Amino acid sequence: MPCRGGHAGSLTLMTPDEPPALLRQVALPRDLGDGLVLEPLGPEHAADFARLVEANREHLGRWMTWVWSPFGEEAAAAEVARLSAWEEGARTVAFAVVRDGCMVGFAQLFGIGCFHLGAEVSYWVGRAEAGRGVATAVVRELCRLGFDDLGLHRIELRCAVENVASQRVAEKAGFQCEGVLRDAWRVRDVWQSLVVYSRLAGDATRVRGGVGQVGGNPTMTAQDLNDVLELERELQSPSARGDAHRLAELLSPEFVEIGASGRRWDRAAILGLLSQEPSDSDRPLIEMSNLEARTLSPGLVQVFWDSDQGGRRARRTSLWRSAPAGWQQVYHQGTLLP
């Protein structure tokens, strides 16, 4: 990828309705250390932007639908021009993530609201930078910019339920999980549910409090996680699947399942389907392996596991929520494995 010098500048968000805190000048670029810099996205990044997307289409395409559209240098230049409009009244601040002069990713604060003082953060980095802490450093810096320089009160981060890497970025950057938006995003005709995270200006940066826990949360214990794992196992057992009453106890009224084919099932449909399955069915048993549970927030647990049913393998993801009657599954998704 071609290398390039830095881009210097400043930003003022200014409209008659904005409070004084949003009128401050923001110093740019932002040095993240270890050769990483956030540069204001500009025309000089367009060629690298196009090449980076092309080289990482498979890497990014599971979570972002736009990367599957034709994205040559002309389209990249138009997108960069749209995102880098720093004129008065801008509601997006967009950056190239640059290492040693070479663009390796993209980040933005968008939907900046001047009355409610909120925004949403999004980002992506190339495969070569994945797992190196780049995304976490970028999100932390965007939070500093949003809270300290722009005077924001709340920043959101949303990512797919199965995008564990982005969930870990959110947690490391001090965000707290608030819940799940069901079927809120579509990528190549497959609906994805989104985990919603937020961080407030007054929040202290949270750190992981232990294996499977987020934010040092003292209200969730290892026993809670083990209880959820046992319920996940029970839910896949022939005895539970043949017991309509027990299934109704384990599945939340808001339950939704996204099958490996992309088909969406609600609670009533699942209960109806399993009730038609004969008790002496010769269907292969579901073999479960690699079970893992992790806390998203108090009373919300995410479970991952691999299934094998007669040679048909899939990666499963579930969400369990604490209810007055006990833990209930609110979401389940399966993705076929090769």
Which CA distances in Å does 243 have to 76, 270, 285? 55, 12, 16
Residue 148, pLDDT > 60, answer: yes
| CATH T-level assignment (fold) for domain 19-200 | Aminopeptidase (3.40.630)
Give, as one character, the DSSP assignment of residue 279: T
Residue 49, pLDDT > 50, answer: yes
| pTM of the complete model | 0.64
Q: Choose among 324, 191, 223, 85: nearest CA to 94.
A: 85
- Higher-confidence residue of 4 and 302: namely 302
140: confidence class by pLDDT, cuts 50, 70, 90:
very high
Residue 22, pLDDT > 60, answer: no
- Count of other CB atoms within 10 angstroms of residue 151: 18
pLDDT of residue 6: 36
* pLDDT, tens only, 179-196: 888 888 888 888 888 989
Q: Which of 69-83, 102-116, 313-327 has the lowest mean pLDDT?
A: 69-83
Q: Whole-angstrom Cα distance, residue 204 to residue 159?
A: 22
| CATH T-level assignment (fold) for domain 222-277+284-336 | Nuclear Transport Factor 2; Chain: A, (3.10.450)
For 166-217, the DSSP string reads HHHHHHHTT-EEEEEEEEEEEETTEEEEEEEEEEETTPPPP---BTTBSTT-
Token match 């048909």: residue?
A: 312
Q: Choose among 15, 18, 25: nearest CA to 115.
A: 18
Q: What percent of the chain has pLDDT over 70?
A: 82
Those residues with Cβ within 8 angstroms of residue 110's Cβ, 6 or more apart along the chain or in another chain? 91, 92, 93, 94, 119, 120, 122
Contact criterion met (CB below 8 Å) for 56 and 66: no
* pLDDT, tens only, 149-165: 888 999 999 999 888 88
Q: Choose among 291, 298, 277: nearest CA to 213.
A: 298
